[in-house]
């Protein structure tokens, strides 16, 4: 026996298992995993079946490992690859590089070579730094993900060992504890639940926060039994699956355990990476897809890049500028050649060398020189400046306190930085209904069965809670044995996917495990255990030491495996194998605990609140492990009652189902437990009743129904529920004429008119022989791995769901969000056409449309169901249109009459729409009606519609976060849409439209000054101003002012824009940014350039002023005129803006003073020392500046005065 070693403390990280010879990267992860080049099916054998070293396994060579990387660059390729991306995605950068290179050609160097590199280096460098910061953040996030841990089966140790996610391989057998994320795509093979089920949360996959049930394949349910001796080493099955794909809802795979023993794998057997284990102590399974091959990583493609209408038009304007540039270059080169041809002798030209080129060569050289001189006509600083403006606009939008919802504690989330101005040009809003216009807080309000309608109104003090209907309560208590009543409520309780929240579980494998004689406890440290203590541990559970003493699974040792609560929320530890032998203490720190483990000790006192549980759990569990098992009290898992209100007792994928289960609990019909093969309920008789589930026919969008088949004394009993159109059509022929059924149908119509969401419930008994035949056929189809399996299963279910008998109907309230009518009214007054797209029936949709204020009260209503209706509607304007499913198909087909009717309509309501039809309708409005579309929704089914629209708005609601994650802007409430569009959208459009026009004007102004000078320098391509100043002028001197104006300027304040929605027409009709505005501003720039040059030329005419002095005159006039031009555009003045204008005017002078004192003769010929002072001492300088500014700005100032006089408060259009 070994000598006991002293107890000492280690860092927990040192106990992580790093597989031997683990490489830095699996090459397949980089090449195969990212490009997905697999062509056939995967055949996967568990890794523990092979004796080869881990990183020589076939699964490692053929498939990607679990390490992920979402970065675009690496350290060694960042700079070249980033520059290449900038050049390949922004062709303007290629143009500017061409200009910079051209300046290095000796014949063409219009500027000093290094000076010509300043603009492009500034643009590329700024973007490179921004991209580098973004990529570094991605790397940090990837590192956090890759270093998460889980337990992986180690063949050599025959134990689960904690390791980081990045070391997981395809074929590994993994153990995942409660509340842990699933590290890869895994086929589930074992669960702590004896039924072989577990619950998962898929918020990271589809945005839905409700729990979903998963189960092990049918032939391995025995692995989960308590008496099972299964170990991962016993699993020898071979997995055959399809190559990786993006679909998170389908899987085509099978597991062959031995010849003739095969399970077809369905989506309910899969645990996908990113989902989280809930309400389950642990699950185990085999990895089939890892890393970049997992479905969540394959779906992590970027949302489609969206470009605003202003940017698209700007690109056309820049093309026009480039065409203008070519014309000016050709003209300048031709003029240069003609001039040289007219002056062939050098004697006439002082200081010219004798090797004067021919006219042709001079013209060729002139092309390069004029390209360099006129390069600013294509604005290089525009891209960077606009990105800065948009980022600052987004910052101010994000910090608008009026877009914050205190109830949900959510502010607006601007996920797109590229299209804030698009918010100001929306013409059509296409909105989902449920959860977008409504609260998506379903409340059980009405039901009807046995001819009688029962209903309640919401409480004024608490409208979000169901209210007991006394009449229904008395009816239930007085007729408990009424068969119609019993079947109706049993249908509601059994036929759903509601998950019962059982008591929380804690997997002790995660809290502690053995490794090499060391017992690791908790997440922070581990303690040494002597051999004597270890043998005592084994003796405590009736085992003898074996060769593999360092067993890592407490559940295999019979140690406590589950922490639960009793009815008083007391912490209790469940046991598997009780024993009288004590568990030895692991350290003095735990041995010296003041309490003794007894049920009445302070350790077992009721928790004052659940918040204290998180603080005390670790200590309680450790002490529980080390105290005598005889003192541990087993407890049956219970449902936490409604009265305790400590935890929500239910989780549901459908809020409708949750509302029904919570609503009927008020009448003592309570769902107690849901397992894979049974459901336990409580009835008003205070009796628990267990139903055996024979088969579940899940809901699908084609059938619009869900059914369960349970065992009953009379044989198999089918309970069916679904939409009225899907259930009523499946009733028996006798039911169609039954007066009772007709009465219930009338109640159903009344519910729809109230705007309630309706469901129908029906049933039928199935002969045993018929059910056996159906079950055999259905299971055969379930084992089919073809792509048509889901369709065939749906068709097969449809065969059974007929000749039904109606049990009853329900009405569920989904009330409107606050502010919806006012918002819709404001959007309508802004001239925006609002569409509501819903899957509800006509009556429900029409009632919601009326109560929400969607329909204009003074406009006629027109229902379009066919081509004749469409033709009639096309002759009128301003209609409120309702489109049936048939009309929706006509619109998608491009029916000319219907498109014309929709173009003229005031509002549009589409009912009975499927999710795929919503996205198609968005594209129809974009392409057929030529609208600028905003789509808004809150559910995962709205994502295609949101991404297809010009602007996508997501609402973070009860249907999850996927819509909010996939959108451009995420808001908490629909009512925020009006401020987002009418205020921030209008401001962003107004500011960016003026900014774009100012840049185009400013650059045209600078270029044409050089152009005019060519008439007086023999078209030599010489620049009139200092070349350094000419390069940095558009980047430094005149970029900050438009940034501030583009972020802070306002034509109207927010109160005016909200109270007068009609102002939105400025952006909706694009009144400020059209071709005419482009030509007006460019012509104005050309005119101002002529004034600047010729006033200076005439001022210095016949004087001895140098070229440098003349350039100083022109440079000063340029910044004064450009600043004055921008000042005339400003509508919202404040002291910061005034200070900024003054700063850059004085900075202009400071620059020239500094340059003239520091530039030497070795840098520039004839350095202009003290030139600015000499110029400013001359009164002609000041006279020329005043005259230039007045004459240059007079036309614009005069036109603005006339416009403001004729149309006060309006901008140019």
Question: With the CA atoms of 1034, 1037, 1042 and 1043 taken in that order, what torsion angle do they form, in degrees rounded to the nearest 10?
Answer: 100
Q: Count the helix, strand and coil residues of the chain and give each as a percent rounded to the nearest 5.
A: 45, 15, 35
Query: Is pLDDT larger for residue 677 or for residue 908?
Result: 908
Strand ranges for 486-601 from DSSP E: 499-500, 512-515, 518-521, 525-528, 562-565, 571-574
3-class SS at 261? strand
pLDDT of residue 689: 92
Q: Which helix or strand (DSSP H or E) is residue 791 part of?
A: helix 789-800
Q: What is the rounded average pLDDT of the residues 601-609?
A: 36
Question: Is 721 assigned to a binding site?
Answer: yes
Domain extent listing, the chain: 10-69+144-298, 332-373, 380-398+988-1206, 413-440+816-971, 443-498+646-813, 508-631
Question: Is 1162 assigned to a binding site?
Answer: no
What is the pTM assigned to this prediction? Answer: 0.73
Percent of the chain with pLDDT over 70: 78
- DSSP bridge partners of 430: 835, 935
C-alpha–C-alpha distance, residues 519 and 5, integer Å:
13
Residue with tokens 């449309």: 849
CA-atom Rg of the chain in angstroms: 38
pLDDT digits 0-9 by tens, 443-476:
899 999 988 999 887 665 566 678 889 899 999 8
Question: Is 808 assigned to a binding site?
Answer: no
| Contact status, residue 444 vs residue 757, Cβ threshold 8 Å | no
C-alpha–C-alpha distance, residues 620 and 1149, integer Å:
75
pLDDT of residue 26: 56
DSSP secondary structure letter of residue 581: S
pLDDT above 50 for 1026: yes
pLDDT digits 0-9 by tens, 745-786:
999 988 888 878 889 999 999 999 999 999 989 888 877 767
Annotated catalytic residues are: 432
Give the tokens for residue 245.
Answer: 């794909």
C-alpha–C-alpha distance, residues 768 and 173, integer Å:
41
Question: Is 938 assigned to a binding site?
Answer: yes
Q: What is the rounded average pLDDT of the residues 102-113?
A: 66
Query: Is pLDDT larger for residue 783 or for residue 967?
Result: 967
State which of 19-23, 182-186, 310-314 shows the largest mean pLDDT.
182-186
pLDDT of residue 598: 37
Question: Is 918 assigned to a binding site?
Answer: yes
pLDDT of residue 547: 47
Strand 880-883 and strand 861-864: the pairing is: parallel
Question: Is 1124 assigned to a binding site?
Answer: no
Q: Which fold has domain 413-440+816-971?
A: Rossmann fold (3.40.50)
pLDDT above 80 for 291: yes
Give the contacts of 1064 (CB within 8 A, at least 6 positions apart): 424, 830, 831, 832, 981, 982, 985, 986, 1057
pLDDT above 90 for 988: yes
Question: Is 1037 assigned to a binding site?
Answer: no
Give the contacts of 1067 (CB within 8 A, at least 6 positions apart): 421, 424, 425, 985, 986, 989, 990
Give the tokens for residue 400.
Answer: 């608008």
Question: Is 433 assigned to a binding site?
Answer: yes
pLDDT above 50 for 1120: yes
Report the 3 state secondary structure along 545-577.
CCCCCCCCCHHHHCCCCEEEECCCCCEEEECCC
Q: Which helix or strand (DSSP H or E) is residue 330 part of?
A: helix 309-342
With cut-offs at 50, 70 and 90, classify the pLDDT of residue 344. low
**582 φ/ψ angles, rounded to the nearest 5 degrees:** -75, 150
pLDDT of residue 512: 56
pLDDT above 90 for 998: yes
Question: Is 1155 assigned to a binding site?
Answer: no
> How many Cα neighbours within 13 Å face the side chain of 350?
0
C-alpha–C-alpha distance, residues 131 and 145, integer Å:
21
User: Which of 11-25, 324-338, 551-565, 878-892 is predicted least confidently?
Assistant: 551-565
Give the tokens for residue 558.
Answer: 């019979």
| Per-residue exposure over 299-332, b if at least 16 CB sit within 10 Å of its own CB, e if not | eeeeeeebebbbbebbeebbeebeebbeebbeeb
Q: What is the rounded average pLDDT of the residues 713-742?
A: 89
C-alpha–C-alpha distance, residues 499 and 990, integer Å:
51
Q: Where do runs of H (alpha helix) occur along 655-767?
A: 655-664, 724-727, 739-753
* C-alpha distances in Å from residue 587, one per residue of 9, 533, 581, 593: 10, 11, 18, 10
What is the CATH class of 10-69+144-298?
A: mainly beta
Query: Is pLDDT larger for residue 927 or for residue 537?
Result: 927
| Per-residue exposure over 1129-1144, b if at least 16 CB sit within 10 Å of its own CB, e if not | bbeeeeeebeebbeeb
pLDDT of residue 194: 85
pLDDT of residue 1086: 96
pLDDT above 80 for 707: yes
pLDDT of residue 3: 39
pLDDT of residue 463: 67
pLDDT of residue 489: 94
* C-alpha distances in Å from residue 645, one per residue of 568, 649, 660, 881, 898: 12, 8, 18, 46, 54
User: Whole-angstrom distance between the N-terminal and C-terminal Cα of the chain?
Assistant: 96
DSSP class per residue in 668-695: T-EEEEE-SSEEEEE-TTS-EEEEEEEE
pLDDT of residue 985: 95
Q: What is the rounded average pLDDT of the residues 985-989?
A: 96
**849 φ/ψ angles, rounded to the nearest 5 degrees:** -65, -40
Please state, rounded to an integer, the average pLDDT across all residues of the chain.
79
The sign of the dihedral angle between the CA atoms of 42, 45, 46, 48 is negative
pLDDT of residue 33: 40
Q: Confirm or reject CATH 3.55.40.20 for domain 443-498+646-813, answering yes or no.
A: no
Question: Is 839 assigned to a binding site?
Answer: yes
* C-alpha distances in Å from residue 1048, one per residue of 988, 1061, 1130, 1143: 10, 21, 10, 18
**17 φ/ψ angles, rounded to the nearest 5 degrees:** -85, 120
Give the tokens for residue 1070.
Answer: 């694009």
Nearest to 1080 by CA among 1018, 961, 1021, 994: 994
pLDDT of residue 640: 36
Question: Is 1063 assigned to a binding site?
Answer: no
| Contact status, residue 522 vs residue 625, Cβ threshold 8 Å | no
Question: Is 705 assigned to a binding site?
Answer: no
pLDDT above 80 for 967: yes
Nearest to 652 by CA among 639, 642, 662: 662
| Contact status, residue 475 vs residue 453, Cβ threshold 8 Å | no
Q: What is the rounded average pLDDT of the residues 95-106?
A: 77
């Amino acid at each position: 026996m070994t000598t006991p070693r002293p107890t000492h403390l280690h860092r927990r990280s040192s106990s992580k298992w790093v597989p031997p010879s683990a490489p830095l990267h699996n090459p397949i992860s980089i090449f195969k995993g990212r490009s997905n080049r697999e062509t056939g099916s995967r055949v996967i054998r568990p890794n523990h079946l092979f004796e080869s070293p881990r990183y020589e396994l076939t699964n490692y060579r053929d498939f990607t490992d679990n390490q992920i990387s979402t970065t675009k660059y690496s350290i060694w390729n960042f700079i070249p690859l980033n520059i290449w991306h900038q050049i390949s995605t922004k062709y303007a950068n290629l143009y500017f590089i061409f200009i910079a290179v051209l300046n290095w050609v000796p014949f063409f160097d219009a500027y000093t070579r290094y000076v010509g590199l300043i603009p492009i280096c500034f643009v590329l460098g700024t973007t490179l730094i921004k991209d580098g910061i973004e990529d570094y953040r991605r790397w940090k996030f990837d590192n956090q993900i890759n270093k998460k841990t889980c337990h992986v089966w180690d063949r050599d140790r025959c134990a689960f060992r904690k390791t980081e996610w990045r070391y997981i391989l395809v074929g590994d057998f993994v153990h995942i504890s409660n509340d842990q994320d699933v590290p890869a795509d895994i086929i589930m093979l074992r669960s702590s639940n004896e039924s072989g089920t577990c619950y998962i949360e898929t918020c990271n996959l589809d945005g839905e926060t409700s729990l979903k049930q998963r189960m092990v394949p049918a032939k391995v349910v025995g692995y989960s039994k308590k008496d099972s001796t299964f170990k991962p080493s016993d699993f020898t099955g071979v997995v055959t699956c399809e190559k990786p794909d993006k679909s998170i809802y389908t899987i085509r795979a099978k597991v062959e355990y031995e010849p003739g023993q095969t399970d077809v794998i369905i989506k309910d057997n899969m645990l996908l990476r990113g989902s989280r284990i809930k309400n389950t102590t642990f699950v185990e399974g085999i990895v089939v897809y890892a890393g970049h091959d997992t479905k969540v990583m394959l779906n992590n493609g970027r949302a489609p890049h969206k470009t605003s209408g202003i940017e698209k038009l700007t690109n056309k304007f820049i093309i026009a500028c480039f065409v203008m540039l070519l014309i000016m270059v050709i003209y300048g080169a031709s003029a240069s050649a003609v001039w040289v041809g007219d002056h062939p002798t050098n004697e006439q030209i002082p200081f010219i060398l004798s090797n004067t080129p021919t006219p042709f060569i001079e013209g060729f050289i002139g092309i390069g020189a004029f390209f360099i001189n006129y390069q600013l006509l294509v604005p290089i600083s525009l891209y960077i400046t606009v990105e800065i403006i948009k980022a600052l606009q987004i910052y101010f939008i994000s910090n608008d306190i009026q877009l914050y919802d205190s109830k949900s504690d959510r502010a607006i989330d601007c996920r797109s930085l590229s299209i804030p101005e698009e918010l100001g040009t929306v013409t059509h809003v296409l909105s989902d209904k449920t959860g977008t216009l409504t609260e998506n807080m379903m409340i059980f309000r009405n039901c009807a069965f046995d001819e009688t309608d029962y209903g309640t109104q919401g409480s004024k003090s608490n409208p979000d809670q169901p209210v007991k209907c006394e009449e229904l309560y008395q009816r239930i208590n007085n007729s408990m044995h009424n068969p119609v009543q019993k079947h109706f409520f049993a249908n509601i309780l059994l036929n759903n996917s509601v998950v019962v929240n059982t008591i929380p579980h804690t997997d002790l494998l995660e809290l502690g495990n053995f490794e090499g004689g060391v017992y690791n406890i908790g997440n922070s440290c581990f303690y040494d255990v002597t051999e004597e203590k270890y043998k005592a541990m084994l003796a405590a559970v009736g085992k003898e030491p074996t060769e593999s003493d360092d067993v890592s699974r407490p559940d295999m040792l019979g140690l406590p495996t589950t922490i639960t609560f009793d009815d008083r929320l007391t912490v209790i530890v469940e046991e598997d194998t009780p024993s009288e032998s004590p568990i030895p203490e692991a350290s003095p720190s735990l041995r010296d605990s003041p309490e003794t483990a007894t049920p009445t000790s302070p350790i077992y006192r009721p928790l004052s609140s659940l918040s204290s549980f998180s603080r005390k759990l670790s200590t309680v569990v450790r002490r529980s492990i080390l105290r005598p098992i005889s003192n541990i009290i087993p407890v049956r898992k219970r449902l936490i009652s409604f009265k305790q209100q400590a935890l929500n007792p239910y989780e549901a994928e459908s809020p409708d189902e949750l509302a029904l289960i919570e609503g009927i609990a008020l009448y003592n019909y309570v769902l107690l437990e849901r397992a894979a093969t049974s459901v336990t309920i409580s009835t008003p008789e205070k009796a628990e009743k267990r139903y055996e589930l024979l088969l579940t026919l899940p809901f699908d969008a084609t059938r619009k129904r869900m059914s369960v088949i349970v065992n009953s004394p009379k044989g198999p009993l089918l309970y069916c529920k679904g939409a009225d159109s899907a259930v009523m059509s499946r009733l028996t022929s006798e039911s169609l004429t039954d007066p009772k059924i007709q009465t219930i149908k009338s109640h159903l119509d009344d519910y729809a008119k109230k705007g309630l969401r309706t469901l129908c419930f029906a049933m039928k008994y199935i002969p045993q022989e018929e059910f056996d035949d159906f079950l055999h056929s259905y299971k055969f189809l379930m084992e089919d791995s073809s792509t048509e399996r889901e369709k065939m299963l749906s068709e097969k279910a449809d065969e059974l769901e007929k000749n039904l008998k109606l049990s009853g109907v329900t009405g569920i309230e989904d009330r409107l969000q606050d502010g919806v009518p006012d918002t819709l009214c404001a959007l309508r007054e802004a001239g925006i056409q609002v569409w509501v797209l819903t899957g509800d029936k006509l009556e429900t949709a029409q009632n919601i449309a009326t109560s929400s204020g969607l329909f204009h009260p003074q406009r006629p209503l027109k229902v379009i169901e066919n081509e004749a209706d469409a033709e009639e509607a096309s002759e009128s304007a301003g209609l409120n249109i309702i489109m049936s499913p048939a009309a929706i198909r006509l619109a998608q087909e491009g029916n000319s009459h219907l498109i014309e009717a929709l173009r003229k309509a005031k509002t549009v309501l589409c009912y009975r729409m499927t999710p795929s039809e919503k996205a198609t309708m968005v594209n129809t409005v974009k392409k057929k009606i030529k609208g600028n579309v905003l789509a808004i929704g809150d559910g995962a089914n709205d994502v295609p519609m949101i991404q297809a629209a010009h602007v996508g708005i997501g609402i973070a609601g009860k249907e999850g976060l996927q819509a909010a994650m996939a959108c451009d802007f995420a808001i908490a409430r629909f009512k925020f849409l009006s401020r987002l569009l009418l205020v921030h959208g209008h401001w962003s459009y107004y500011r960016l439209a003026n900014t774009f026009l100012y840049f185009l004007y400013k650059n045209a102004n600078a270029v044409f000054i050089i152009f005019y000078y060519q008439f007086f320098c023999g078209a030599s391509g010489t620049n009139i101003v200092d070349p350094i100043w000419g390069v940095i002028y558009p980047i430094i001197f005149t970029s900050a002012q438009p940034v501030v104006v583009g972020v802070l300027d306002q034509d109207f304040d927010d109160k005016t824009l909200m109270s007068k929605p009609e102002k939105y027409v400025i952006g909706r009709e694009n009144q400020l940014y059209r071709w005419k505005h482009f030509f007006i501003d460019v012509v104005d720039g050309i005119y101002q350039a002529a004034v600047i040059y010729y006033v200076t030329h005439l001022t210095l005419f016949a004087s001895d002023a140098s070229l440098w002095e003349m350039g100083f005159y022109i440079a000063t006039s340029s910044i004064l005129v450009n600043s004055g031009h921008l000042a005339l555009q400003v509508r919202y003045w404040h002291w910061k803006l005034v200070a900024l204008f003054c700063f850059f005017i004085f900075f202009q002078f400071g620059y020239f003073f500094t340059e003239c004192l520091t530039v030497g003769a070795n840098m520039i010929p004839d350095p202009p020392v003290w030139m600015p002072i000499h110029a400013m001492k001359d009164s002609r300088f000041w006279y020329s500046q005043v005259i230039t500014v007045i004459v240059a700005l007079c036309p614009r100032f005069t036109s603005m005065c006339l416009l403001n006089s004729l149309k006060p408060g309006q901008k140019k259009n």
